[in-house]
Structure 1
Amino acid sequence: MTANDLARQLRERGARVTPARLRVLALLRGASRALSHREVEEALAGEVPVDRVTLYRVLDWLVEQGLAHKLADEMRVFRFSAASSADRPHGTHAHFVCDDCGKVFCLDDVQPEAPRLPEGFATTQVEYSVHGHCAACNPSEPHK
């Protein structure tokens, strides 16, 4: 996805296109797994760092706009991943959580169904997590 594509996504939500929003969205789109705030901060520390408060605001805004997912792991560390265009309504999205290293991976091919709710209830998000051992930690698989 090009910088112009990312900028278009931001503009479609009526937002200003800022360097911080573009850089964070590009990083999440290019990541192979969900990233913690610290991992995002470290990845962006290169040329022009994004200050911590701005980064929190950008990540939360991306989640509010449906451009990213936010998932709390068992240690209550929030991890962020880019939402795909294939995501279903109500934020339905699946993740794989490695019980050994704690990394979180998006499962784009898994599309869980939102449950039926009692009358008067409304779904805003469905979190679906599969736990196990990632390829790097799986004791039955040779490490690459």
Structure 2
Amino acid sequence: MATQSLPSDPIDALLSAHGLRRTSAARRVLGWLLAHPDTSYTHAQLQAALVGADTEAATPLDRVTLYRLIDRLTQVGLLLCRVDSQRVRRYQAMPPSVQATPHFECQSCHRDSPLAGALRANADDLEKAAQTAIEALRALGYQDMHMDFAVRGVCADCAGATPA
């Protein structure tokens, strides 16, 4: 009797498609970030989140392994890395087919918030501007690009304002 292979895990498929080994650590990290697409994490925040979520994991990820893994995931384009005004790196899953990722960085609490929903109608204009810039750079020979738009200031919570 022939056995039928089960459908491939989407996280394993992503890792394989990007030339990465399908280790349990890689699956845990990428799985967590894909499950929280609108949240960016510092290395320490990601490590803490994984420890809290990994009640079944045999061993927690050590700091160095996590650094190397997020570096590899970023290099192949599965993670987006942003450096805020305090020079802190924040990582999140790369949104599929996104050329511009507008976000707001609070200078007080350092929370990173996506702006796509807040921009609504203007998000299309931003996407068109990003696409035009990327096409111009591609014509000059640049490759594998994405654009990251950051607005920095003080968020409404830190400013003490109550949303309308």
The verdict on a shared fold, with TM-score over 0.5 as the criterion, is yes
Moved more, 102-111 or 53-62: 102-111
Counterpart in 1 of 2:130? 113
Residue 33 of structure 1, aligned match among 25, 39, 54: 39
Percent of aligned pairs sharing the same letter: 31
The Cα shift of 1:121 comes to: 5.9
Counterpart in 2 of 1:59? 70
The Cα shift of 1:126 comes to: 2.5
The Cα shift of 1:120 comes to: 4.1
Q: Which has the higher helix share?
A: 2
The Cα shift of 1:26 comes to: 1.6
Quote the RMSD (CA, aligned, Å). Answer: 2.6
* Distance in 2 (alpha carbons) for counterparts of 1:26 and 1:107: 23
Counterpart in 2 of 1:129? 150
Work out the number of aligned pairs and report it. Answer: 137
Counterpart in 2 of 1:95? 103
Q: Decide whether aligned partners of structure 1 residues 127 and 84 sit closer, same or farther in structure 2, where only a CA change above 3 A counts.
A: closer
Counterpart in 2 of 1:43? 49
Uncovered stretches (5+) of structure 2, i.e. residues with no partner: 1-7, 118-122
Matched residue SS, 2:21: coil
Uncovered stretches (5+) of structure 1, i.e. residues with no partner: none
Moved more, 26-35 or 53-62: 26-35
TM-score for both structures, normalised by structure 1: 0.78
The Cα shift of 1:69 comes to: 0.4
1:76 matched to 2:87? The reply is: yes
The Cα shift of 1:30 comes to: 2.6
Q: Report if the CA contact (8 A) 2:11-2:27 is conserved.
A: yes
Counterpart in 1 of 2:120? none
Q: Decide whether aligned partners of structure 1 residues 18 and 107 sit closer, same or farther in structure 2, where only a CA change above 3 A counts.
A: farther
Q: Which has the higher strand share?
A: 1
Q: Report if the CA contact (8 A) 1:94-1:106 is conserved.
A: yes
TM-score for both structures, normalised by structure 2: 0.70
1:11 matched to 2:16? The reply is: yes
Deviations 1:63-85 (A, max 9, x none): 11111100011111100011111
